[in-house]
Amino acid sequence: MSGRRRPREAGVALVSALLVLLLTATAGALVAADIGLRQRAAIGAIERAQTRALLDAALADALARLADRGTFVGRTETGPAGELTSEVEHLSGISYAVRVTAQVRGRRQAAAAQVERSATGTVRVLGWQRLPVPEGPSS
């Protein structure tokens, strides 16, 4: 009778196989969830870096336009990368305040700079800082 199994042994084998299948499926689900979390974190990091890069580009653009034209007051531009806004305020004499914002897929950052523009159009940044952006639907 070595070729035949008793019914009890067959039942134990079936339960053992189902238990192994359950454990494997659970492990797979945990791995999938972990991968999803890591993917969302990576996408968030990429979007933050893109927003920072667009913010730096907005500030560079505003400074270049101010150097070219002392009457530049700012602009808003929307493109495939996101939206940038610059505002330039003439304070007095050669002093200007520049504020820029950048938005990429709902993430928003802002910065402000204090600059001087000489009569020849040379722009010198005296200081700048990133500004807090209030949390909300567009930040």
The amino acid occupying position 56 is D
Going from the C-alpha of 6 to that of each of 3, 12, 92, 125, the distances in angstroms are 10, 10, 98, 87
Return the pLDDT at 99: 96
Kindly report the pTM of this predicted structure.
0.72
Where residue 1 falls among pLDDT bands split at 50, 70, 90? very low
Return the pLDDT at 130: 93
Enumerate the domain spans of the chain: 7-131
Return the pLDDT at 10: 75
Higher pLDDT, 6 or 84: 84
Q: Which of 88, 138, 79 is nearest to 117 (CA)?
A: 88
Summarize pLDDT for 10-22 with one digit per residue, the tens. Answer: 788 889 999 999 9
Looking at 3.40.640.10, 3.30.1300.30, 3.40.50.300, 3.40.720.10, the CATH number of the domain 7-131 comes to: 3.30.1300.30
Where residue 5 falls among pLDDT bands split at 50, 70, 90? low
